[in-house]
Chain A
């Protein structure tokens, strides 16, 4: 649309109306979840056919949350999910940005091949490699911290790190970093080399501070991916100790199928941290997505 078109008032009104419709479509399920989490089962069904379904009105209660915590073991699963997501994202930012730095800013033999492999890795869906990967980690010797201290185990299955290590290196994150780093003028690196910097110092002092938007983007995208992991923990984490929230919710939902208020409370607890993270990082995220041509 041309800038002139934006100046036409009827067109602008139509545009706002359309955006409002989209906003409502996306917002309604979220409001329904939040308001239902504060209602009893009877309250939910009584309001179901009216606008009250998405509003926090009527007899509101916090009991659903108490039950979710008491019966759903949500505190433990929440800690697991936070740990898995936090560690993966932090390690991923370092590993993936360094890989992208090597691809975008350094000259080395085999770089083009590595780039080609990266693009190939981008188009392979995780579902296609999940079973072979599961067989691999099932046979990898690992370590466990128990009552007897640190012991060797025969497998990575049912651990926290099986949910972290395979996801630290991420082709999509590398690609995002690569695209951003590639567009930073090479003169900066060369000026730093003249100033006496090593490649690692160029990365640390020149590239990273110039790339905060892409770090925010990768943090959000990788957090969402990790937070929403379902298939992988389902096949690699049968026990409760290392279980993340998503699998916990599935179990909770299976056990308490008719307790809709509690299910909604559980779902709200899963959604809110992601929402907070997005709101905090939104400014950077939008800037980077616009800049890098990433589809949201």
Chain B
């Protein structure tokens, strides 16, 4: 039975250093939630606290509304897939998958049936007598997943499970994990620093920074309406182009010196003149144009051709970093070093105040 998981103001400290600074989250039964954030943000620590591998310093962790703070990992009935796979090297695939059932003293016939079923689901039946050292990365990953599903856990926990795989295999395994979730409908909490994984797998994403939740929402909520500058710059590939801006009588002046002015977005109409803001714009909302008559101008410093899409990265006065622009299919005339105009739909722009919080639309 998939369980609900609830964290109520959960904290974790090592001595004086607080790593998790009061996280609250409710994961519904059967939901796929991804914890995402840069390295060191505390996402793996949070997952290990849910697994029972790290003690919770303060706050409550509930499974199906029962407080489980003091339960050991086995009692919590979680299945966990580690980044390193952590397959027992001396055991065969079959023994690895069946180890938990053996410890639970499940009768041999039932154990064999459940192991067979798990191996079948993951297409590992042919490899049942192989040792981990004889398997490829993707096969090891499947064994690790098999070890987790054989116990019918309440909650699946994945700790960066695809980070050791190459790009192609990562894509395949991502799809397999998504299909497995559709089939089993277990509650899944999945940790990754790869926002593509987060966007493609999650029902909801939790963005963490420095032990604090920055935003919780569906992938498209986070993409379309980032609550703050951190989420805006973390979600999306390439990242959002960001400009320092100031509200003036004429509109929004880009940069702080002698710079260009664009129209003030409608939702910023009430912001008084003189206020410093940050303007963010997604690559797909930008276009390049002839320099003449353009409100913003820049130089193409890099072109990234990905096949279906081509991104131009522009150096623009007033921008915090290179500004990515998704080009239309016709890119033949565009070369690096070219001076171009930059146009964007101000209505699609995201505006953040000096504390980094998004201005409400």
B126 CB, min distance to chain A CBs, angstroms: 24
- Known contacts: A196-B74, A196-B104. The answer to whether A190 contacts B99 by CB under 8 A is no
Interface segment out of the listed B22-30, B80-88, B113-121, B201-209: B80-88
The docked-state distance in angstroms from the alpha carbon of A195 to that of B144 is 12
The docked-state distance in angstroms from the alpha carbon of A102 to that of B217 is 44
Which residues on the A side are within 8 Å of B74 (C-beta)? 193-197
* B147 pairs with A210, CB closer than 8 A: no
Interface residues of A in 210-250 (CB under 8 A from B): 210
* A193 pairs with B72, CB closer than 8 A: yes
User: A205 in the interface, Cβ–Cβ < 8 Å?
Assistant: yes
Which residue on B lies nearest to A187, using beta carbons? B86
The docked-state distance in angstroms from the alpha carbon of A170 to that of B87 is 32
Interface residues of B in 88-115 (CB under 8 A from A): 88-90, 99-100, 103-104
Taken residue by residue from 167 to 209, chain A's Cβ proximity to chain B (1 for < 8 Å, 0 otherwise) reads as 0000000000000000001011011111111000100011001
Pick the contact of A194: B51, B83, B90, B104 (CB < 8 A).
B51
Which residue on B lies nearest to A212, using beta carbons? B90
- Known contacts: A193-B53, A194-B74, A196-B74. The answer to whether A188 contacts B86 by CB under 8 A is yes
Which residues on the B side are within 8 Å of A193 (C-beta)? 52-53, 72-74
Which residue on B lies nearest to A196, using beta carbons? B74
A228 CB, min distance to chain B CBs, angstroms: 33
Pick the contact of A195: B83, B84, B89, B100 (CB < 8 A).
B100
The docked-state distance in angstroms from the alpha carbon of A46 to that of B287 is 105
- Known contacts: A190-B53, A191-B80. The answer to whether A196 contacts B86 by CB under 8 A is no
Pick the contact of B88: A188, A190, A194, A196 (CB < 8 A).
A188
Which residues on the A side are within 8 Å of B72 (C-beta)? 193
* A190 pairs with B82, CB closer than 8 A: yes
* A196 pairs with B82, CB closer than 8 A: no
* A196 pairs with B84, CB closer than 8 A: no
* Interface of B, helix, strand, loop or mixed by DSSP: loop
Q: Which one of A190, A205, A210 has the greatest number of beta carbons of chain B within 10 Å?
A: A190
User: B78 in the interface, Cβ–Cβ < 8 Å?
Assistant: yes
Which residues on the B side are within 8 Å of A191 (C-beta)? 80, 82, 86-88, 147
* A185 pairs with B103, CB closer than 8 A: no
Which residues on the B side are within 8 Å of A196 (C-beta)? 73-74, 100, 103-104
A38 CB, min distance to chain B CBs, angstroms: 45
User: B79 in the interface, Cβ–Cβ < 8 Å?
Assistant: yes
- Known contacts: A196-B74, A196-B104, A201-B103. The answer to whether A206 contacts B82 by CB under 8 A is no
Which residues on the A side are within 8 Å of B100 (C-beta)? 194-196
* B86 pairs with A205, CB closer than 8 A: no
The docked-state distance in angstroms from the alpha carbon of A194 to that of B104 is 12
The docked-state distance in angstroms from the alpha carbon of A194 to that of B78 is 7
- Known contacts: A201-B103, A205-B99. The answer to whether A195 contacts B86 by CB under 8 A is no
Which residues on the B side are within 8 Å of A192 (C-beta)? 88, 99
Interface residues of B in 52-78 (CB under 8 A from A): 52-53, 72-74, 78
* B147 pairs with A195, CB closer than 8 A: yes
Which residues on the A side are within 8 Å of B87 (C-beta)? 191
* B73 pairs with A194, CB closer than 8 A: yes
Which residue on B lies nearest to A201, using beta carbons? B103
* B147 pairs with A190, CB closer than 8 A: no
B305 CB, min distance to chain A CBs, angstroms: 39
* B84 pairs with A185, CB closer than 8 A: yes
Pick the contact of A206: B51, B88, B104 (CB < 8 A).
B88
B227 CB, min distance to chain A CBs, angstroms: 34
Which residue on A lies nearest to B153, using beta carbons? A194
Which residues on the B side are within 8 Å of A201 (C-beta)? 103
The docked-state distance in angstroms from the alpha carbon of A96 to that of B84 is 29
Which residue on A lies nearest to B72, using beta carbons? A193
A10 CB, min distance to chain B CBs, angstroms: 39
The docked-state distance in angstroms from the alpha carbon of A197 to that of B91 is 15
The docked-state distance in angstroms from the alpha carbon of A126 to that of B158 is 51
A182 CB, min distance to chain B CBs, angstroms: 16
The docked-state distance in angstroms from the alpha carbon of A194 to that of B74 is 5
* B103 pairs with A210, CB closer than 8 A: no
Which residue on A lies nearest to B74, using beta carbons? A196
* A210 pairs with B90, CB closer than 8 A: yes
The docked-state distance in angstroms from the alpha carbon of A203 to that of B80 is 20
The docked-state distance in angstroms from the alpha carbon of A187 to that of B147 is 14
* A194 pairs with B80, CB closer than 8 A: yes
B99 CB, min distance to chain A CBs, angstroms: 5
Q: Which one of A191, A196, A197, A206 has the greatest number of beta carbons of chain B within 10 Å?
A: A191
Which residue on A lies nearest to B78, using beta carbons? A194
Extra 8 A-B pairs, beta carbons < 8 Å, given A187-B83, A192-B99, A195-B103: A185-B86, A187-B84, A190-B82, A190-B86, A191-B80, A193-B52, A193-B73, A197-B103
Q: State the 7 A-B residue pairs at the shortest beta-carbon distance, nearest first.
A: A196-B74, A187-B86, A195-B100, A191-B86, A209-B90, A196-B103, A194-B73
30 A-B residue pairings within 8 Å (CB atoms) = A185-B84, A185-B86, A187-B82, A187-B86, A190-B51, A190-B73, A190-B86, A191-B82, A191-B86, A192-B88, A193-B53, A193-B72, A193-B73, A194-B51, A194-B53, A194-B73, A194-B78, A194-B79, A194-B80, A194-B100, A195-B74, A195-B99, A196-B100, A197-B103, A201-B103, A205-B99, A205-B103, A209-B88, A210-B89, A210-B90
